[in-house]
Structures are given as C-alpha cells and as structure tokens.
Structure 1
Amino acid sequence: MFKRGCGLEFFLMLCTSLELPLSWSCPRHCVCYSSPTTVSCQAHNFLMVPEGIPPHSERIFLQNNRITMLLRGHFSPHTVTLWLYSNNITFIDPDTFQGFTQLEELDLGDNRYLRALAAETFSGLPKLHALHLYRCGLTSLPSGVFQGLRSLQYLYLQDNRIEFLQDNLFADLMNLSQLFLHGNRLWSLHQNTFHGLSSLDRLLLHENQLQWVHRGAFHDLKKLTTLYLFNNSLAELSGECLAQLPSLEYLRLNGNPWECDCKTRSLWDWLDRFRGSSSSALCESPPDLRGRDLKRLTKEDFPNCSGSESLHQIKTWTTADKVSFKKDHHGRHHHPSTRQHPPPPPPSDGSDAPSSSDKSPPPSSTDDGHRPHGARNCSRQRYRGPKKILKEVHTLEEMADKEPQEYPGDGKFGHPRKKPKCTRPPPLRPPSGVQQANGSSAASGQQHPTACLMNLIASALLAAVIR
C-alpha cells in the first residue's frame, strides 16, 4: 500500500495534522502542543529555565517554579506570550528580551525579590500590549524603562514599594488603557507624572500614601473614565485638578482625612457639578463637620470662604477644554498597531483577591463590535484586552462598572445623579489550545483522551505500513 521507507514520515505528518503532543521534542516534565506552539512547564520546582524549549514556541508557561534569573538566550524571539509569575527571580539580564519583536504579553509578577530593573529591560518590544510587574518588591522605576512601548495597553505595577514616579515616565505609552498603581507608597503626584497617557481609561491609585496632588497632574487624561483615590492621606484636592477629566464617570475618594474648610471648597463645588458616580468623602476636620460627607455640605458650611477664584478657574478651564478635547478627539489618528476590541468583563462574583497563581489563560476576542441602537458604551475602551487579568483587578473593575453599594471599611457610596446606560460586552473565552495545555500540564504530561485515541489509530496505521 505504501513504501516501507515512508512509514515514519507518514506517522509524523499524521501527528502534526492531528495536533498531537510530541513528547520527545519537549523539555522534561513539560507538555507541548503544536498549534499554537505551546510549552507548559508550570509548577515543577525548576531552579532555572529548562533546556530544550522548541525554538519556535509561541506560548511559554513557566509560572509557579523557583527560577532565580533570566538570561539572554533562554527564550526565542518568536515568543508571543511568556508567563513567569510566582518564581524567585532576582535578576533579569537587560538583553533577555532583546529582539523579541513578536512578544505581546509578558508576566513577571509575584517575583517578590526582583526589586530593581535596568532601564533597557523592555526595549525593542514593539508589539507588547500587557506587562505585569505586580508584587515584585520594586522601590523605584528607572527613567526610560517604558520607552518605546507604544503598543502597551495594560500595565500592572500594583503591590510594590514605589514611593515616587519620575516625570515623563509614561510619556511613550500613548495607547495605554489601564494603569494599576494601587498598593504602593506614593505620596505625591506631579504635573508631568502622567504626561503622555492620552488614551488612559482607568487609573487606580488607592491604598497609597498620597498627601499632595498637583492641580495639573491629570492634564493629559482626557479619556479617563475611572479614578480610584480611596484609602490615601489626602486632606485636600483641587477641584481644578478633577475638572481636567472631561470623560470621568467613576470616582472613589473615601478613606481620606478630608479637611472640610476653604481648601476643599473648590472640590466641594466640583462634586456638586459632577454627574458621574462618586463615593463618600467624609470630613476629618473641623470638629463640627467631622464625620459628615463633603458632598452633602452646603454653602453655609463654608462661611468664611468666597471660593470665587477657584470656581471661576474651574468654569473657564472646563469650557475651553471641551473645545480642545473635541478637536483632539476628531483629529487624532490612532497608532496603526492598535486593535479595536473591548476589555474583558469583570467576573460575577465579588470574592477577595486570590494568590497570583489563580490565573486564567488568555482569552480570544469574540466581540463583533456592535451594540443596540441608542446604547452607550461606558467603558470607552478601544483596544484589545489583556489575555489574562487577576481576580483582584476584576473585583476593582466590578466596583467601578456596577456601582457597588458599599466598600469594606467605609460607609456607603453616594448614588450617581445620572445613571449611565451601558451595554456590557459578551464574555471572552480562552482559545482551546491554551485550555488544553493548561489542563494537561497539571497532570504532568498526561495525554488528553482524544490524543490517546489518535495515537492508537496512528500506531495501527504504522503497523499496517510496516507489514
């Protein structure tokens, strides 16, 4: 029927066409799949990156090991997705990712002893759209560390020890949609801290030590819809600062020691005009106003404050800004690499944040981009969502999108004066290839039942060829 010498070639072609795992081309204790080319080596106590990773691997999962360092040559420039979270990484060679022009997602989170990064670590990654650096013990970020990452859309920097952000640190991130900075030690925000973030949709700054915010700190954030400032040390915040956010819909200010005197008169006036959703802002002082919500105060509660200057500045700036924002919105050309997809929806549960090992695999986009006539897309998100998001981030997003009734540790949120009518995007599901890789890796190389059946068929065919 077939020539005897063609048996092995026929068998290999059959395995490739059926996408069967080829164990002999895979590192020991790992599971590999051919479409997309996936190597799953998670949770095997590796002390270093295992040898033998196929050079054309697109997706590499090495999370939950004990890898201590990353060096040049450990991975191939063909890599698209690289998960290295929950290891013991203390050193990353600045050339480790040099030339990785296809890399889209890099997760280095939960490497608690990393502590420092070289400025060139992420240079030359033109397609990177999600970068995870949460819980890495970082105390600072070098100038230029995000330079050139013009496709980046999601940046996770939460739960570090960062005390200060240099001016123009994010200047190249014109496509960044979500910036997570909560759980750090930031104490001030300067005029150019967020310079260049013209596409930013969500900014999470809660659980820091913020005491001072420059009145021009948010001047570039014309598309920001969500701002979390709760549980900081803010005693005052200029209303002019918030008036620079024409797209703002969700604001959280609770858990700050507000001084409800003349210094917060402009904030009170802005909150009175704001038509989005905002939390309570309980007064810490003066004594006669302690415990009262700043939003519920009246003009009579500010007897010695004229407030005319700040109110005039807010009104003048807002009017002028709306004109410039319209021109900017209609005349802006998006980066050619930008992809028009909404972010993944938050989960329905409101559970507490789990460990970082509790991650879901990358989802594929299923949204067709259409919504019913008259419906309003409140997310204002225009780019492809990340291929995975921590549940702790999902919980925060749910708080913003669903307007929760209360937040643990504080009183009830204020109800929005105008409830936005939003259409939630459909759920995004992970591609079958990654689901299969993750499921099989947990079994340390155990084959899928379909794969076993196909192997038996292939063996029978091979035996027939040899005869």
Structure 2
Amino acid sequence: MQSLAWFGLVLLCVLQSTEACPSVCKCSKKSNPEKSEVNCHKRGLRALPSNLPSDAWILKLGENGITDLKANLLRSVPTIESLILEKNAIKSVHPKTFSGANHLTLLNLLGNQITKLPPKAFKDLLNLRFLMLGQNEIGLIKAEMFVGMRNLSELDLPHNALTVVPSNAFKPLIALKVLDLSLNRIQRLSPKAFTGLTKLLFLNLDNNSLKTIPAGVFRPLQSLEMLVLDNNLLSSLSKSALDGLSNLQELYLRNNELELLPHDVFSNLPKLSEVGLSGNHLKTVDGNTFSLVPELKKLHLHDNAWQCDCNIASLVKWMEQTNTTLSPRDSLRCSGPPNLRNKSLIGLQTETLICTK
C-alpha cells in the first residue's frame, strides 16, 4: 500500500513536470542541480509562452514573431541563466523587462528591430556576462543604458545605426573585455568615448566611417590587446592617437586612406607584434617606423601605392635586415616610377632608387 502511494506521488511529479512545459515547446531536464532547458525555437510565437517550468535555466525563443518585451518578463522563471531572442521582430524593451532576473548570464537580442534602449533597462542583470545586440537599429548609446552591468564581459553591437560614440558611453561596464562596434556608421569618437574600460582586451571598429582618431581616445584602454580599425576613412594617424596602448599586441588599419605615417607612430606600443597596413594609399614609410617596434612579428604592407624612389630606401633596407614576416612578400610591388612599376620591393637595390625634382 505504501509503495502504491509512493508510485502515485512520483507519477504526480512527472505529470506536473510535463504540464509545466508549454505545448509548443520542448523541455529537457538537467540534473545536479535539476534544471530545465526550454526550446521554443521557430514555433510562430508572438509572446513568451505561459506555464514555463519554474526551474528553466535556458530559454530558446529565436526566430519567432515576438514584437515587444513587457515588464517582468521573466518573473515565472527566477533562476533563468540564458535567454535567446534572436531574429524576432522586437521593437521595444520595457524599462522593467528584466526586473528580478539577477541570475541571467547571457542575453541574445541579435537580429531584431530595436531602435533604442531605455535607461537602466538592464540594471537588475548584475551577473550578465554576454549581451548580444547586433543587427538591430540602435542609433544612440548612453552610459545610463548600461547601469548595473558591472560583470558584463562581452558587448556585441555590430550592424546597428550608431554614428557617434559619446563621452562615457560605456563607463558602467568596468569588467568589459570585448566590445564590437563594427558595421555601424560611426563618424566620430568622443575623446572620452572609452572611459572606464580598463579591462577591455578587444575593440572592433571595423567598417565604420571614421576619418580621424582623437588624441588620447584609447588612453583608458590600458589592457587592450587587439584594436581593429579596418575599412574606415582614416587618411592620417598621429602618435597621440595611440597613446596609452601599452599592452597592445595587434593593430589593424587595413583598407583605409592612409597616405603618411609619422616615423614614431608605434614607438609607445612596446608589445606590438602584428600590424595590418594593407590596402591604403601609402607611397613611402620610413624604415625606422618599424625598427622602433621590438616585438614586431608580422607586418601587412601589400596593396599600397609604393613609390620606389630615394624616399623608400630606408624601408627597403629594413626589409632586407628584419626577421619580421612580411605578409605576403610577393605582393609588395612598386607602383612607380614607370621603370620600376610592378617590381618587388624585396631585393630592390637601394643605390638605384633616385628622386627626381
């Protein structure tokens, strides 16, 4: 009789567990401790389903038709750790959408139609590590949008409508290590754009519309190891533009409009090991520019308008002596003068390089 009652209790628990899963979703259990993964991916949903299991820790809602995130969205799943809402039709986020969701570590809102973020919308997400906001229509960012996110490690904002990075935009993000701002329309960086980001390791500004880099804008980034500035409109780069990057190891400036480089532009970057300068408008560079970079291991200089006259002699000489890998060597070619057009820079006889008035 006792075993029958026990069986009934177990059966009741199983039925309750089954009932707790929305009919359009698939739920699976994880033990130690017991948690539920709720998969509602691509189910034609217009809102969060009801009767979610209270022990849900992963909620997959990608590729549905959800348009709004209402207040207290996650009240029924207090221990939720991962919320995936990519590729819905979300246009707005309520200021209290994430109230109480202090266990959330990953929030994926990629590929929606969000145009702006309300102030302090994420203030309860004290343990959030990863925030994906790429492929939206966000045109403005302010520090108040990120209040409370003191443990955020990665912020992805590519492919939005940003035109300016204002002062102190990310100041609350004291633990941030990865910041992706690529594929926006950024034309201007405030001189204090990156204040507070002392732990940042990777900054991606690829595919924007930057024409200048303000002096000292990267100075707060004392831990930065990789800076990507490819595919912008930079025509010059001053030494002060790179001030403070004492830990930088990789710098990419490919496919810009650089015509000149100061000979000491990299002299305050003691750990720099790889530089990408291909696809610019460089005609000559002083060989001492790279002699001042003791850790340089790889250098990309191809697809520039190299003018093989007396002004390039120091660069040619440096190339002959360096152990730095020039990648790719075969693509380093003269654009002029006519008698040397398409000649390889490698092996050029420096005594034959002349300047004409």
TM-score normalised to structure 1 length: 0.59
CA deviation digits over 1:105-162, x for unaligned, max 9?
0001111x22122212100222100001001110111111112211100101000000
Question: Deviation of residue 168 (structure 1)?
Answer: 0.9
For residue 45 of structure 1, what is the amino acid of its counterpart?
A
Q: Alpha-carbon deviations, 1:154-184, whole Å to 9, x = none?
A: 1010000000001111112121111111000
Q: Which of the residues 108, 111, 116 maps onto 1:69?
A: 116
1:100 to 134, 146, 149: 149
Distance of 1:212 and 1:43 partners within structure 2:
43
Are the equivalent residues in 1 in contact too, given 2:316–2:350 (CA < 8 A)?
no
Give the residue type in structure 2 aligned to 1:202. Answer: E
Q: 2:91 aligns with which of 33, 43, 47?
A: 47
- Alignment partner of 2:319: what SS? helix
Partner SS, residue 155 of structure 2: strand
Aligned to 2:107: 60
Q: 2:287 aligns with which of 239, 242, 248?
A: 239
Larger proportion of helix: 1
Note the alpha carbon deviations across 1:279-301, whole angstroms, 9 max, x for none: 34211122211111122201332
Question: What does residue 89 of structure 1 align with?
Answer: 138
* Letter of the structure 1 residue corresponding to residue 275 of structure 2: L
Alignment-derived partner of residue 134 in structure 1: 182
Instruction: Quote the Cα distance in structure 2 between the aligned partners of 1:124 and 1:110.
Output: 23
Does the 8 Å contact 1:183/1:208 carry over to 2? yes
Aligned mate of 1:284, from 313, 335, 340: 335
State the shift of 1:55 in Å.
1.9
- With over 3 angstroms needed to count, the CA separation of the structure-2 counterparts of 1:265 and 1:47, relative to structure 1, is same
Aligned to 2:255: 207
CA contact (8 A) 1:253 1:281 kept: yes
Q: How does 1:102-251 map to 2 (within 5 A)?
A: 102-111=151-160, 113-251=161-299
Alignment-mate amino acid for residue 107 of structure 1: D
Higher deviation after alignment, 187-196 or 271-280:
271-280
> Is residue 200–residue 223 contact of structure 1 (8 Å, CA) maintained in 2?
yes
Counterpart of 2:61? 30
Distance 1:14 1:250 in 2: 47
Name the SS for the 1:82 alignment partner.
Answer: strand
Letter in 1 for 2:105: E
Q: CA deviation at 1:36?
A: 7.4
Secondary structure at the aligned position of 1:269 is classed as helix
**How far 1:189 sits from its partner (Å)?**
0.9
Unmatched segments (≥5 aa) in structure 2: 21-28, 39-51, 63-73
* Rounded Cα–Cα distance in structure 1 between residues aligned with 2:78 and 2:32: 7
Write the distance in 2 (CA, Å) between the matches of 1:303 and 1:126: 54
| CA distance in 1 between partners of 2:201 and 2:138 (Å) | 24
Q: CA deviation at 1:261?
A: 1.2
Q: Answer yes or no: is 1:80 the counterpart of 2:129.
A: yes
Tell me the equivalent position of 1:269: 317
Q: 1:218 to 1:239 in 2, by over 3 A?
A: same
Q: Which TM-score applies when normalising by structure 2?
A: 0.77
**Bigger share in strand:** 2
TM-fit CA distance, 1:77: 3.9
The residue type equivalent to 1:106 in the other structure is L
Superposed CA deviations along residues 395-437 of structure 1, whole A, max 9, x for unmatched, are xxxxxxxxxxxxxxxxxxxxxxxxxxxxxxxxxxxxxxxxxxx
Cα deviation, residue 223, structure 1 = 1.4
**Aligned to 1:263, what secondary structure does the other structure show?**
helix
- Number of aligned residue pairs: give it: 301
| SS of residue paired to 2:251 | strand
SS of the residue corresponding to residue 95 of structure 1 reads helix
Q: 1:242 to 1:28 in 2, by over 3 A?
A: closer
Task: Give the distance between the partners of 2:216 and 2:196, measured in 1 at CA.
Answer: 13
State the 1:248 CA deviation. Answer: 0.9
Change (3 A) 1:173 1:93: closer
The alpha-carbon deviation at position 304 of structure 1 amounts to 7.0
Matched residue type, 1:30: L
Root mean square deviation, CA, Å:
3.0
Deviation at 1:58, TM superposition (A): 1.5
1:249 Cα deviation after fit: 1.2
Tell me how far apart the structure 1 counterparts of residues 220 and 140 of structure 2 sit (CA, whole Å). 25
SS at match of 1:106: strand
Partner SS for 2:240: coil
> Identical aligned pairs, as a percentage?
27
Aligned residue type for 2:333: L
Counterpart code for 2:61: C
Aligned CA distance change for structure 1 residues 127 and 94 (closer, same or farther; 3 Å)? closer
State the Cα deviation string for residues 7-42 of structure 1 (Å, max 9, x = none): 89x979999932104726689983888887111111
SS in 1 for 2:241: coil
Give, in angstroms, the shift of residue 74 of structure 1: 1.9
Counterpart Cα distance in 1 of 2:276 and 2:355: 31
Cα distance in structure 2, aligned partners of 1:299 and 1:225: 27
Structure with higher Rg: it is 2
Give the superposition deviation at 1:222.
1.6
Alignment of 1:333-412 (within 5 A): none
User: CA distance change for structure 1 residues 90 and 28 in 2, over 3 Å: closer, same or farther?
Assistant: farther
The structure with higher relative contact order (CA 8 Å, sep 6+) is 1
- Change in Cα spacing, 1:153 to 1:286, as seen in structure 2 (3 Å) is same
In structure 2, distance between residues paired with 1:298 and 1:234 = 20
Name the CA shift for 1:242/1:24 in 2 (closer, same or farther; >3 Å).
same
Residue deviations 1:62-91 (CA, integer Å, cap 9, x gap): 001111101223213412110000011112
